[in-house]
């Protein structure tokens, strides 16, 4: 097995929204905002190469939206999903599986493209993976979250016939605050890949967990969008259920410290991965670096 971080560019989001109740006087030292209060964030995906399998985790924001849409998010950077795959010698047609941690536009926008005026899947030979609880949540969105669930990113996947669903453990649908262990589900996609389920950011978000070189790598999606979000109160205002997110962090982080998990960040603009440690009852960053440096 080989793991390849995939750079699909950068975008900007409001710093206050990204750090919730944490004051700007504090978070601005961690990710300095521009004059519009916007902070820079990565759109980092992960490719798993294992035998004849090429499993892509999330697909970035894509390029099919109009100029007005992109004007809100200030896309920038030299790399795209396609160009980053090409640097590894792969094309979209080579991808065998696409794992959608959740269906917010900045995580799944690259899953569908516009070709000859039609919306089609960007990975024609891939199986796309979601779960029924999250899919139903996304296609029947609440008023607060519907701006993140764009039909053009979601419905063409099911229409293509390429969609399959991961089973969610019964406890994976909890929407009440809890510090119980995060539910885990083995994957049928390939050995060594399983999913943890969290509900604070959005219903039934999947965190891929990978056994790699005798280490466990956890793709944090939006439970921990960056290394700056490791302290417990640092919960995004975008989260649907902030107290659930808080409980999920309180459950997961001590486990990550005890087992020396490598945390892979989708949105951190500078830090690809880290490990954590527990000191005097508090979780602290232990080491940071690129995935290949920490394994």
pLDDT in tens, 151-209: 999 999 999 999 999 988 875 556 777 777 788 888 999 999 999 999 999 999 999 99
**Cβ(218)–Cβ(261) under 8 Å?**
yes
What does the pLDDT look like over 43-68, one tens digit per residue? 999 999 999 999 999 999 999 999 99
**Cβ(65)–Cβ(112) under 8 Å?**
no
pLDDT of residue 179: 72
Beta strands in the chain (DSSP E): 2-14, 38-50, 53-57, 97-99, 112-115, 118-121, 127-131, 163-166, 184-186, 193-198, 205-212, 215-219, 262-264, 273-279, 282-289
Tell me the HSE value of 83 on the side-chain side, using a 13 A CA sphere. Answer: 9
Structural domain spans, the chain: 2-294
pLDDT of residue 106: 98
- Which of 76, 82, 32, 17 lies closest to 56, judged by CA? 82
pLDDT of residue 278: 96
Parts of the chain with a pLDDT under 50: none
Q: Check residue 130 and report its DSSP letter.
A: E
Cα separation, 163 vs 41, whole angstroms: 29
Q: How far is CA 66 from the centre of its chain?
A: 23
pTM for the whole thing? 0.95
pLDDT of residue 183: 84
Q: Which superfamily does CATH assign the domain made up of 2-294 to?
A: Ribonuclease Z/Hydroxyacylglutathione hydrolase-like (3.60.15.10)
Task: Kindly report the length of the chain.
Answer: 295
């Amino acid at each position: 097995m080989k793991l390849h971080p995939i750079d699909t560019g950068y975008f900007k989001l409001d710093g206050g929204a990204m750090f919730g109740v944490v004051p700007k006087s504090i978070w601005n030292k961690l990710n300095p905002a521009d004059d519009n209060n916007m902070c820079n964030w990565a759109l980092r995906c992960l490719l798993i190469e294992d035998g004849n399998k090429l499993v892509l985790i999330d697909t970035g924001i894509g390029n099919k939206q109009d100029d007005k849409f992109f004007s809100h998010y200030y896309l920038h950077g030299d790399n795209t999903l396609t160009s980053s795959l090409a640097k590894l010698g792969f094309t979209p047609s080579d991808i065998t599986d696409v794992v959608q941690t959740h269906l917010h536009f900045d995580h799944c926008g690259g899953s569908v493209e516009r070709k000859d005026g039609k919306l089609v899947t960007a990975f024609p030979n891939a199986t796309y993976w979601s779960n029924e609880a999250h899919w139903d949540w996304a296609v029947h969105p609440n008023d607060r979250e519907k701006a993140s669930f764009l039909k053009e990113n979601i419905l063409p996947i099911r229409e293509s016939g390429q969609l399959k669903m991961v089973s969610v453990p019964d406890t994976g649908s909890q929407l009440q605050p809890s510090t119980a262990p995060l539910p885990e589900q083995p994957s049928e996609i390939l050995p060594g890949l399983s999913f943890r389920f969290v509900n604070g950011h959005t219903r039934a978000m999947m965190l891929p967990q990978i056994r790699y070189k005798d280490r466990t790598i956890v793709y944090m999606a939006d439970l921990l969008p960056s290394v700056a979000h490791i302290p417990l109160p640092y919960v995004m205002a975008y989260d649907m259920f902030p107290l659930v997110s808080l409980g999920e962090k309180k459950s997961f982080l001590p486990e990550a410290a005890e087992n020396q998990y490598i945390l892979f960040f989708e949105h951190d603009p500078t830090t690809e991965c880290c490990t954590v440690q527990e000191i005097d009852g508090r979780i602290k960053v232990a080491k940071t670096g690129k995935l290949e440096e920490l394994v």
